[in-house]
Structure 1
């Protein structure tokens, strides 16, 4: 959030509209602009949720700025095309400073979680996503209902989109969306019907590959190896769920 607003603030654009278009690298009024700006609003929502999870003193201190941060993102009372309001007046420096301070605090408090991942290599996660799209495209309705399958495909497609735009929206956003996909696939695992040993084995391998890529991104390879060796934590829990799928 801080990086995005800072870029708009420092874009030198003559109005809010052009400032956002430059930073989001999307044409004003286009579908892609709407999609990217909506993602920014989602980042603000997640930031607010994370601050609300902080100890009381910190929560109270930063929650005072929620309205200012929200106004900076949507500007409900001002015209985005008004030349008399350059992008630099989108947000006050003080408001940016408080947002930066909150971001630093959250990164320290949540280091190694999906809110502040330790990893940065996204290629393994992207490859896992592409493999899942192939698996789901080949699955008949008799094994997994089309409505469930289509929803997961949409989530994975969105995750790939976030990976492609990680420089703009951040690795943390990718990590959190990966958790959503893992959760959806966990639920879908309990809904599989008529899956033969070969298909079941492919599903399990792909599932564990996705979990491994997600954990490495969030906590780092060392933590993943430790969890595997100890047979504990999220790796053990997810493995137990996957083991409930039709045996290979």
Structure 2
């Protein structure tokens, strides 16, 4: 909004077009402006975190902010109606102050990693490939996830307009959808959804901090889902995502394949290797199933 006001165009549509890089009647303009209204809606939602006194103060500016975005009952293309009168500096200052307060007390994932945009870009590109290639993910779920990740990627391509926090929030929403889908009883044993779930969790751990050490990222993912140290299949997923999202770590020596060893007996294909894990399944449950199988075999031998 500050950028739109400062462009000095002769009409409202030209001001927004200069911000979005698209003309008023184009699909890209419609998409970009719709996303701007979503951003305003998120601001309204986040204002509920503020104290009652602060919330009341900033809510009094909501009509002005909404009018600045939507500009109702006006001809956007009319010449000589520059956006300056509808965007008073004081209204913009209060919007910026409100955003600062929300950011200080936000409850969503704060992208503490200074390379969060690059991590998300690489991670989402990787996820799109994983989801599209996973034939065992139900078609409706796969199509929804592809659409969601493409939207996050679009936001990252326009991060200068909407901000990294907005893109991160969209990624969080999709991550929640992934975990929910993976937790469905019908998804048990669905390796595609399991891989996608641990991939998004790895990316979220990377966003929460610098996490230059692979072992710390593995531990972070394990702490989220309560897995044991012997979950070799999870280690492999996390290691691959780490390598994709933080390739500079390879040059810095943080990704050391010799130093990062899987627990003894957990190498894929070894006799003691745990089977592939379903959503929410720990290596303990896999061990219990193997124990039952062993007992059955022993009884048959007798």
Q: Give the TM-score normalised by the residue count of structure 1.
A: 0.81
Pairing partner for 1:104 from 100, 103, 108:
100
Distance 1:229 1:158 in 2: 27
| 1:67 corresponds to | 63
Q: 1:85 to 1:132 in 2, by over 3 A?
A: same
Partner of 1:132 in structure 2?
127
Contact 1:132 1:206 in 2 (8 A): yes
Q: Distance in 1 between matches of 2:183 and 2:29?
A: 37
The 2-side partners of 1:154 and 1:14 are apart by 36
Q: Which of 200, 206, 213 is the matching residue for 1:216?
A: 206
Change (3 A) 1:226 1:210: closer
Q: 1:205 to 1:194 in 2, by over 3 A?
A: closer
Please identify the structure whose Cα radius of gyration is greater.
2
Taking a change above 3 Å as real, the CA distance of residues 230 and 20 of structure 1, as seen in their structure-2 partners, is closer
Number of matched pairs = 233
Q: Deviations over 1:60-109 (max 9, x none)?
A: 11111111110000000221112221122231111111101111211222
Structure 1 residue 55: Cα displacement: 1.3
2:78 aligns with 82
What is the rounded CA distance, in whole Å, between the counterparts of 1:117 and 1:60 in structure 2? 28
Please give the residue correspondences for 1:174-189 in structure 2 after superposition, counting only pairs within 5 Å: 174-189=167-182
**Bigger relative contact order (CA 8 A; separation at least 6):** 1
Displaced runs of 4 or more, over 6 A: 237-241
Which residue does the alignment assign to 1:244? 281
Q: Which runs of 5+ in 2 are unaligned?
A: 228-233, 235-276, 287-302
Q: Distance in 2 between matches of 1:163 and 1:67?
A: 29
Q: Secondary structure at the match of 1:221?
A: coil
Q: Normalising by structure 2, report the TM-score.
A: 0.68
Distance in 1, matches of 2:70 and 2:188, equals 48
User: What is the alpha-carbon distance in structure 1 between the residues aligned to residue 212 and residue 67 of structure 2?
Assistant: 39
